[in-house]
């Protein structure tokens, strides 16, 4: 993603093309060439150890999906994940329209601002990891959502065409972006430990599959912002053909809709039940139970690589 976003700036600097059409063609060829190569590299080099017989070899059914979805903790995580994905999804869908038509930036300048946004998100991951270890994951997620909302509300105050004044706003908006994807998946993994403690089955694969579904739903819902603008007379090809009310709606949807969704995600996390203290107790109980269980027999672990053999309790 970072390399794709850097292409417009790079092509412009090398005088290889600065129009939106030329840049989009360059990005398209970049993806078409590298995607199959990277897939082959991943399939060739990323190995997976063979599972140990008797450890997590339970078949999953559709009923297991619905049972997990009904868990109160899972419901909170899914709702928060949907909201934290939908908010930047709407902002991302409308990003170029907002900065080109409302804030009078060029396509290359807008691409540069988007690159700054995602670079800030990469550095933000380290920030939220540190905060989560110190204050807890739920509290850190709440802080990130509130921060994101404040920045989104303030973006309408940006003066038109001032790249270096806009850049700090994009940094401030990008830093919270990675918090949802990072912390909510960690929180779902924590719940996987709780599920294994009480059901005796490892359902982390199902839980992450469900979580992946909310990402796709959020992406699809974000696209409806364009449908709403179109209904108000917005023209994606010709700015002069867009109605005045659609341009006002563009500002409102870009700035306020994501901010409100961010505050809603923060509200969902208030009173989150699976605290770090409770998770530590779950891990202790799992450790005691796993230590009391007999290790797999030698014939069960034949052909398993030494680095994945179960260790003794001590």
Question: Which position has the higher pLDDT, 119 or 310?
Answer: 119
- Asked if pLDDT for residue 166 goes beyond 90, the answer is yes
Choose the weakest-confidence range: 6-10, 63-67, 130-134, 254-258: 6-10
Q: Could you read off the pLDDT of 130-159 as tens digits, one per residue? A: 999 999 999 999 999 999 999 999 988 888
- Asked if pLDDT for residue 313 goes beyond 60, the answer is no
pLDDT band at residue 301 under the 50/70/90 scheme: very low
Tell me the two tokens of residue 5.
């976003």
- Asked if pLDDT for residue 291 goes beyond 90, the answer is no
pLDDT for res 52: 54
- Asked if pLDDT for residue 1 goes beyond 60, the answer is yes
pLDDT for res 310: 41
pLDDT for res 303: 43
Q: Could you read off the pLDDT of 167-196 as tens digits, one per residue? A: 999 999 999 999 998 999 999 999 999 998
pLDDT for res 306: 40
- Asked if pLDDT for residue 311 goes beyond 80, the answer is no
Q: Could you read off the pLDDT of 48-81 as tens digits, one per residue? A: 777 655 555 567 778 888 888 889 999 999 999 9
- Asked if pLDDT for residue 309 goes beyond 70, the answer is no
Tell me the two tokens of residue 10.
């790079």
Q: How far apart are CA 247 and CA 66, in angstroms?
A: 42
- Asked if pLDDT for residue 13 goes beyond 90, the answer is no
Name the packing angle between helices 163-174 and 107-135 (round to 10°). Answer: 30
Which residue is associated with the tokens 């920030």? Answer: 127
Q: How far apart are CA 3 and CA 8, in angstroms?
A: 10
Nearest Cα to Cα of residue 218 among 114, 81, 98, 66: 81
Q: How far apart are CA 129 and CA 243, in angstroms?
A: 44
pLDDT band at residue 294 under the 50/70/90 scheme: low
pLDDT for res 300: 45
pLDDT for res 201: 84
State pTM to two decimals.
Answer: 0.82
pLDDT for res 51: 62
- What DSSP line would sit under 239-284, residue for residue? GGGS-HHHHHHHHHHHHHHHHHHHHHHHHHHTT-SS-HHHHHHHHH
Mean pLDDT for the chain? 86
Domain architecture of the chain: domains with CATH: 1-36 (no CATH), 62-280 (1.20.1250.20)
pLDDT band at residue 23 under the 50/70/90 scheme: confident
> Residue 230 to residues 151, 168, 259: CA-CA distances in angstroms?
26, 31, 22
Q: Could you read off the pLDDT of 90-131 as tens digits, one per residue? A: 999 999 999 999 999 988 888 899 999 999 999 999 999 999
The distance from CA 32 to its chain's CA centroid, rounded to whole angstroms, is 24
Contact 146, 262 (CB under 8 A): yes
| Average pLDDT value for residue range 236-243 | 87
């Amino acid at each position: 993603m970072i390399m794709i976003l850097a292409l417009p700036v790079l092509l412009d600097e090398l005088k290889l093309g600065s129009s939106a059409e030329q840049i989009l063609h360059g990005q398209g060829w970049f993806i078409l060439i590298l995607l199959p190569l990277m897939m082959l590299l991943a399939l060739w080099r990323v190995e997976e150890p063979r599972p140990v017989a008797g450890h997590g070899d339970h078949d999953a059914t559709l009923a297991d999906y619905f049972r997990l979805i009904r868990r109160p903790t899972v419901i909170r995580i899914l709702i928060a994940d949907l909201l934290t994905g939908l908010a930047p999804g709407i902002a991302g869908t409308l990003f170029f329209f907002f900065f080109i038509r409302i804030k009078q930036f060029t396509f290359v300048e807008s691409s540069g601002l988007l690159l700054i946004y995602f670079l800030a998100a990469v550095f933000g991951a380290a920030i939220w990891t540190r905060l989560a270890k110190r204050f807890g994951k739920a509290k850190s997620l709440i802080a990130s959502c509130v921060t994101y909302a404040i920045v989104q509300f303030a973006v309408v105050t940006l003066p038109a065409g001032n790249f270096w004044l806009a850049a700090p706003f994009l940094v401030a908006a990008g830093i919270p972006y990675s918090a949802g994807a990072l912390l909510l998946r960690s929180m779902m993994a924590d719940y996987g430990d709780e599920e294994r403690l009480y059901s005796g089955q490892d359902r982390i694969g199902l839980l992450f599959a469900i979580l992946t579904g909310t990402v796709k739903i959020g992406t699809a819902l974000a696209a409806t912002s364009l449908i709403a603008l179109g209904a108000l007379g917005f023209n994606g090809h010709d700015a002069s053909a867009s109605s005045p009310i659609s341009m006002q709606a563009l500002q409102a949807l870009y700035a306020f809709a994501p901010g409100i969704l961010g505050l809603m995600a923060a509200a969902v996390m208030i009173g989150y039940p699976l605290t770090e203290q409770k998770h530590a107790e779950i891990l202790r109980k799992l450790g005691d139970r796993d230590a009391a269980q007999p290790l797999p027999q030698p014939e069960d672990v034949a052909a398993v690589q030494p680095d994945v053999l179960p260790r003794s309790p001590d």
